[in-house]
Chain A
Amino acid sequence: MNVNATLLVQMIIFAIFVYLCVKFVWGPIVAALEERKKKIADGLNAADRAAKDLELAQENASKSLNEAKQQAAVIIEQANKRATQIIDESKAEAAAEGDRLVAAAKAEIEQEVNRAREELRARVAALAVEGAQKILQTQVDEKAHSELLDKLAADL
C-alpha cells in the first residue's frame, strides 16, 4: 500500500490510452454510427414515401379501371344498338328486294302469257284453215278468206 511513482506512470499511461482512444476508436465508430442513423432515417422516409406513392398509384389504377369499364359499357351498348339497326335495315332491304323480285316475276309471267296468247292467236287462223280443209276435203284459199280469218283471230 505504498504510494510511489506508479501513480505518475499510471497518469502517463492513462493519457496515452485516452489519446489512442480518441484517435483510433471514438472517431471512426461514432462517425459510422451517425452515418448508420442517417441511413436508417433516410430508409424510413423512403419507405413512407413509397407507401404514399403506392396508395396514390392504386387510387389512379382503380379510377382508370372504372373509366375503362364505363367506356366499355358505352361501346357495347352502341355496338348492340348498331347491330339491331343493321339487322332491321337488312330485314327491310330484304323485304323490299323480295317484293321487287316478286313484282318482276309477275310482270314476266304476264308478258309470257301475253306472248303465248299472241302466238296462239297468230296460229289460230292457220289451225282453223287446216281444220276446215280437213273437214271440207278441199283447198281453201287463204288469201280469199283472210279477212274472215283475221276476224276470227281477233275474236279469240
Chain B
Amino acid sequence: MAGGVYEQPSDYIQHHLSNLALGNHPDYGWGFYGGDKVADLGFWAIHFDSVVWAILMGALFIGVFASVARKATADVPNSKLVGIVEATIEFVESTTKDIFHGRNPMIAPIALTVFVWVLLMNALKFLPVDLIPYTLEVVFGVPYQKIVPTTDPNVTLGLSFSVFFLVLFYSFKVKGFGFIKELSCNPFSFKNPVLQAVFIPVNLFMELVGLIAKPVSLGLRLFGNMYAGEVIFILIATMTALGFSFFTVLGGASQLAWALYHLLVVPLQAFIFMALTLVYLSQAHEDH
C-alpha cells in the first residue's frame, strides 16, 4: 500500500483499522462501506470482513477436527494431525476438569470451540498486515479489509455475551429461584426480613453490576490485547513506507520481533478466554 496513496502515516493506520461494513447508508443506500462512513450505518450493519474471516476460521476448526473425528479410532494415532487434534482435545478436557466440577457434557465442547476458534482468529495476526488487504484491493478492488476478527469488539463481545447468556441459562437451570435469591440477598444478608427487604435493591444493583462486568471484561480483554497488537503491527509497517532505507530493515526486524512476541500472546489470550469462560460457567453451576 506504500507509495503515494496515503498522505500521512495516520491515514494508512486509519485505513488498516477500518472494517469493511455491509449496511444501509442514509446518503448512499445499501452497500459496502469503510472508514468514516461505517459509523453512519448505525446498528443494523455488519462488519463483513470480520464475519467472513470468523466463519473461515471456525470452518477450518470444524473441518480439520471433524475430519479427524470421523476417522477416530482407539488404535495408535496414525498421523501428526491426529496427534495434534487429540492433544488439543485432551488439553481442553483436562483444563475443563480442573476448573469445572459440575456434570454437564456441553461445557467441554463449548470450551474447545472457544479456545480453538479464538486461537485461529488471533493467529491471523501472523499474516503480514498488508498481504491479504492489498491483494484483495488490487485483484478484486475491495477497498477495506481487516482480517483479524478478534480486533473487532463486535466479535469478542459477541463471544463473551454468548458466554454470558449461557451463564444466565445455566444459572436459572441449576439454581432456579435460588439464582434470584443469590443476586438479591448478597453481599448484605440479614435475618430480619424488613431489613433484608430494604437492602434488596442495593444488593441487586451491586450483583448485577458484577454480573454484567463479567462478559464486558471478558470480551474487552481479548479485544484490547489483539487490537493493541494490531496497531503496533501497522505502526511498524509504516516504517517501510518511507522508501528503502535503514527503516526498512528496522521495520522488518521489528515486525519479526513483534510477531515472535505474539507467539506468546495469541495462544495465551485464547487460553485466558477459554479459562474465564469455564470459570463463569462453573460459577453458574455452583449452588450456595
* A17 and B117 contacting across the interface, CB-CB below 8 Å: yes
* A4 and B72 contacting across the interface, CB-CB below 8 Å: no
Binary per-residue interface labels of chain B (61-87) against chain A in the complex, 1 for a CB within 8 Å, 0 otherwise: 110011011101111000000000110
Given A25-B69, A26-B89, A39-B74, residue A10 in contact with residue B159 (CB < 8 A): yes
In Å, the complex CA distance between A39 and B77 comes to: 14
- A15-37 contacts to B, CB under 8 A, are 15, 17-18, 20-22, 24-33, 35-36
Q: Which residue of A lies closest to B93 (CB)?
A: A30
* B72 and A10 contacting across the interface, CB-CB below 8 Å: no
Q: Quick check: is A3 within 8 A (CB to CB) of the other chain?
A: yes
Binary per-residue interface labels of chain B (81-120) against chain A in the complex, 1 for a CB within 8 Å, 0 otherwise: 0000110011001000000000000101110110001000
* A10 and B51 contacting across the interface, CB-CB below 8 Å: yes
* A6 and B93 contacting across the interface, CB-CB below 8 Å: no
* A21 and B153 contacting across the interface, CB-CB below 8 Å: no
Query: A6, A8, A33, A35: which has the most chain B beta carbons within 10 Å?
Result: A6
Given A13-B58, A31-B72, residue A7 in contact with residue B157 (CB < 8 A): yes
Question: What is the minimal beta-carbon distance from B271 to any residue of chain A, in angstroms?
Answer: 17
Measured between beta carbons, the chain A residues less than 8 angstroms from B23 are: 4
Identify the stretch in B35-43, B181-189, B260-268 within 8 Å (CB) of chain A at 4 or more residues: B35-43
User: By DSSP majority rule, is chain B's interface helix, strand, loop, or mixed?
Assistant: helix
* A11 and B47 contacting across the interface, CB-CB below 8 Å: no
* A17 and B69 contacting across the interface, CB-CB below 8 Å: no
- B107-162 contacts to A, CB under 8 A, are 108-110, 112-113, 117, 152-155, 157-159, 161-162
Q: Quick check: is A9 within 8 A (CB to CB) of the other chain?
A: yes
In Å, the complex CA distance between A118 and B113 comes to: 141
Q: Quick check: is A1 within 8 A (CB to CB) of the other chain?
A: yes
In Å, the complex CA distance between A50 and B221 comes to: 56
Given A20-B62, A20-B66, A28-B72, residue A5 in contact with residue B55 (CB < 8 A): no
Q: Which residue of B lies closest to A28 (CB)?
A: B69
Q: Quick check: is A2 within 8 A (CB to CB) of the other chain?
A: yes
Binary per-residue interface labels of chain B (11-51) against chain A in the complex, 1 for a CB within 8 Å, 0 otherwise: 00000000001010000000000000011011111110011
* B44 and A5 contacting across the interface, CB-CB below 8 Å: yes
Measured between beta carbons, the chain A residues less than 8 angstroms from B165 are: 11
Task: Please pick, from A2, A15, A21, the residue contacting B65 in the complex, using a CB distance under 8 A.
Answer: A21
In Å, the complex CA distance between A120 and B106 comes to: 141
In Å, the complex CA distance between A29 and B70 comes to: 8
Task: Please pick, from A8, A9, A21, A33, the residue contacting B113 in the complex, using a CB distance under 8 A.
Answer: A21
**What is B's interface to A at a CB cutoff of 8 Å?**
21, 23, 38-39, 41-47, 50-51, 54-55, 58, 61-62, 65-66, 68-70, 72-75, 85-86, 89-90, 93, 106, 108-110, 112-113, 117, 152-155, 157-159, 161-162, 165
**What is A's interface to B at a CB cutoff of 8 Å?**
1-11, 13-15, 17-18, 20-22, 24-33, 35-36, 38-39
Knowing that A6-B51, A29-B69 are A-B contacts, what are 4 other residue pairs whose CB atoms are under 8 Å apart, sorted by A's residue number? A3-B157, A4-B45, A22-B106, A28-B69
Sample of 9 A–B contacts (CB below 8 Å) = A4-B47, A4-B154, A5-B44, A7-B158, A14-B117, A21-B62, A22-B106, A22-B109, A36-B75
